[in-house]
Chain A
């Protein structure tokens, strides 16, 4: 970031993107913020919510508002890894000679919607691991790079546990944020009814192309974070470690595995994006506190006691945010 006009332009582009999304999506401000933060932080998002809350519609609207290639995979128990990555197919040329050629799967896109990802088997789910982390796919001995920007937006249903396969921890950790879709309010419901049962759904115009998106990503990474602010993020992550001195009482009692260093990166990157959304060039304590729940909720594993007592990770994270001192031993109110 070199000057204020770039910041203003970024702010203007993001506002335009929000406006386009808002043409179809009612409410879900936190969810949209989270998805945009993931988008600008080069991360992937896991959207969790009961059916009918508009998760898939939100992702499709986002793809419409962006000049990006979009692909959707409906995960089912019989989905195979090759259905995601692609496979070698035998082709015959004009001279009758046959040769193998790699047929790209739907993962070769820029915005990938992995719908109901927990319905596929762990083997198929793991097929996304390399793509999400390395942004490349290896088939046989050949590696294939994915296009930039690349983002996976996965949805999963917290109910209907029958016939679902919870995502393995390793794959969960690769999602920058786990976002929760909540029920709309009465006013939002009223507006949803008006929009969907009357005139046709309004069209969404693409307002951001790939290069502009990459520029925004660069801008996010240039947001600065002071050492004492960074220390606060570190203390928050350490507070989720049961054996650490910073651990909160709940963490000491109920946590088996706390947040990983990748969780810290997720918090800081998301906080930087949130700071940029607010038109700032520095990260604040509030940004970190806002980034912590979606960044940590899928990275904390409860022990048997926590599971048995039905401890909600959200409560644990709330305690971490509340009890972790910002500076000079002063905890956030």
Chain B
């Protein structure tokens, strides 16, 4: 710019090579124009990017996608701006084009461009200098930036509107878009949608609490799907299609989680022998912990048997605390192992959450009439996709290992019920329950609580056998008014006072989907 600042003096009599003076002036103009072109294209790219982001946000909110809406929107903006800048760079004007534009802008009557051409192409420097002098006299500006200023072009002026549109699309309720025309509402789809939506919200909360991003994303998608189904925007066929897609997405995420959780190399201390080997009694591991005499091999063995110990009633946090207490401050290897364990633990939690979500989706598919159970079969026999099955086995084993199943600790009991504990990869084989070849067909295990008289509540266990020729449906979706209906029934019916709480708990558990549809044999019904 500074060279151009004195362009008028340069052309009107100051000595020096004309070629260099003209080159300097045109080069400054060229730089300014190229920058202007880049900025113009950048604004264009921004506007297009915001438009695409708005569209992507809309689609991502309406259709379950494997990426979060803000990720898609951000990627659209970044890619569009980058492409626009690339196009702007490829379209950068050369010096002659800039001179022509300067002529047109300043009405220089093509003096500057003719001067440039005759200097560079015809090598007629004298003529070029005369023309350049005329151009300066005719009003060639002192500052190139004044001729080609950086400006907010029309694309840039429209960009805030596009940003507002993006913002609106990201926050407004889209249910009215999803159901633009009234259609016959499928009550079953609505009920399944309510159930899935509620489950998705709970899953999101858990994922947030446990910091599980993979589960959080899937939970958000599940909730959106549930909301759409609940709103009646989807008919049964569409809901089935969406659910299948959701199931596939959950499978994919679950496989990734499992692959992450399957990491066996948990630290640099592997290979040392320890009295806490997998074939020892899990209870015995508590003794060296209580004594505080753990060596490296012990801690490694403990880490490997973390899940197994947990099923045996030893809280994971206690074991981890014990490991930490044993660690010397500078034991980086052990610290790394613990970090890896935490990572594996998160992956397992992810897997469990995703497995649970997948069960819900599978249930919804069945309830909506997807009759072929084979469609839900495991697709990759090489990878165990079912955490629950193995964990149930482990839990059962743990229960068997316990004294009588009635004095189980709260943690173990809760884990066994929900099927959310256990780790088939870490637990040794001898501790697993014997695999019943027909176990897959025997149906779920029921553990209803009973009360014969005032006082202690006892638990019985039953296995539900599906009736031949009927699909095995584990859970029945309950309406959202179920709890209030229970209260209403309880208030009308005459029960002994000490039974009322038991009855209420029973039905509320039904509403949470823990009790299968079929009544267990010998179970007393509620009249």
Q: Which residue of B lies closest to A287 (CB)?
A: B109
A228–B109 CB distance below 8 A: no
Q: Could you tell me if A226 and B114 are in contact, using CB atoms closer than 8 angstroms?
A: yes
Contacting B at CB under 8 A, from A55-70, are none
Contact (A281, B110) CB under 8 Å given A226-B118, A328-B97: no
Instruction: Give the chain B neighbours of A330 by CB distance below 8 A.
Output: 104
| Count class of interface residues, chain B | 10 to 19
A-B pairs with lowest CB-CB distance, top 7: A284-B109, A226-B114, A282-B114, A284-B110, A226-B117, A327-B100, A229-B110
Q: Which residue of A lies closest to B100 (CB)?
A: A327
B322 CB–A CB distance under 8 Å: no
Asked if A228 meets B127 with Cβ closer than 8 Å, knowing A280-B109, A280-B134, the reply is: no
Contacts of B408 in A (CB 8 A): none
Q: How far is the CA of A328 from the CA of B130 in the complex (A)?
A: 26
- The answer, yes or no, to whether A227 is at the interface (CB within 8 Å) is yes
Q: Which of A227, A281, A283, A286 contacts B117 (CB 8 A)?
A: A227
B224 at the interface (CB under 8 A from A): no
- A–B complex contacts, Cβ < 8 Å, 18 sampled: A224-B127, A227-B121, A228-B96, A228-B110, A228-B113, A228-B117, A229-B113, A229-B114, A280-B111, A282-B114, A284-B103, A284-B111, A286-B109, A287-B109, A326-B104, A327-B97, A327-B101, A328-B101
Instruction: Report yes or no: A224 in contact with B110, Cβ–Cβ below 8 A.
Output: no
Does A309 have its Cβ within 8 Å of any Cβ on chain B?
no
Partner of B130 from A275, A281, A285, A286 at Cβ < 8 Å? A281
Determine the residue in chain B with the shortest Cβ distance to A278.
B109
> A4: CB under 8 A from chain B?
yes
Interface residues of B (CB under 8 A from A): 96-97, 100-101, 103-104, 109-111, 113-114, 117-118, 121, 127, 130-131, 134
A217 to chain B, nearest CB (A): 20
Report which of B100, B118, B130 forms a contact with A228, defined as CB distance below 8 A.
B100
Task: Tell me whether A4 and B114 are in contact in the complex, defined as CB-CB below 8 angstroms, given that A228-B100, A328-B97 are known contacts.
Answer: no
Residues in chain A near residue B111, CB distance under 8 A: 280, 282, 284
Partner of A282, one of B100, B101, B109: B109
Whether A4 pairs with B130 at a CB distance below 8 angstroms is: yes
B438 to chain A, nearest CB (A): 78
Chain B residues contacting A4 (CB-CB under 8 Å) are 130
Asked if residues A285 and B131 are in contact (CB atoms below 8 Å), the reply is: no
Which B residues are in CB contact (< 8 Å) with A281?
Answer: 127, 130-131, 134
Give the CA-CA distance A50 to B11 in the complex, in Å: 50
Q: Which residues of B contact A275 (CB under 8 A)?
A: 109
Q: Is the CB of B113 within 8 A of A226?
A: yes
Tell me, in angstroms, the Cα distance from A278 to B107 when the chains sit together. 14
| CA A4 to CA B131, docked complex, whole Å | 11
Encode A295-333 as 1/0 by CB contact (under 8 A) with B. 000000000000000000000000000000011101000
- Contact partners of B101 in chain A: CB under 8 A: 327-328
> In the complex, which residue of chain A has the Cβ closest to the Cβ of B118?
A224
Nearest to A227 among chain B residues (CB) is B117
Contacts of B131 on A, CB cut-off 8 Å?
281-282
Contacts of B104 on A, CB cut-off 8 Å?
285, 326-327, 330
- Nearest CB of chain B from residue A281's CB, rounded to whole Å: 7
CB neighbours (8 Å) of A225 from chain B are: 114
Residues of B within 8 A of A227 (CB): 117, 121
Distance to closest chain B CB from A286 (angstroms): 7
Q: Which of A178-212 contact B (CB under 8 A)?
A: none
Q: B109: nearest residue on chain A (CB-CB)?
A: A284
- Measured CA separation A111–B208 after assembly (Å): 99
In Å, the complex CA distance between A123 and B103 comes to: 49
- Nearest CB of A to B132, in Å: 11
Looking at the assembled complex, report how far the CB atom of A83 sits from the nearest CB atom of chain B, in whole angstroms: 46
Most buried by B among A283, A284, A287: A284
B110 touches A226 (CB 8 A): yes
Since A284-B111, A327-B100 are in contact, a sample of 15 more A-B pairs with Cβ atoms closer than 8 Å, ordered by chain A residue number, is A224-B118, A226-B110, A228-B113, A228-B117, A229-B110, A280-B111, A280-B134, A281-B131, A282-B110, A282-B111, A284-B110, A285-B110, A286-B109, A327-B101, A330-B104
A156 to chain B, nearest CB (A): 34
**Which residues 26-51 of A have a CB within 8 angstroms of B?**
none
Q: Which residues of B contact A278 (CB under 8 A)?
A: 109
Please, how many angstroms separate the alpha-carbon atoms of A92 and B117 in the complex? Answer: 66
User: Nearest CB to that of B121 among chain A residues?
Assistant: A227
For window 82-120 of chain A, which residues contact chain B by CB distance below 8 Å?
none
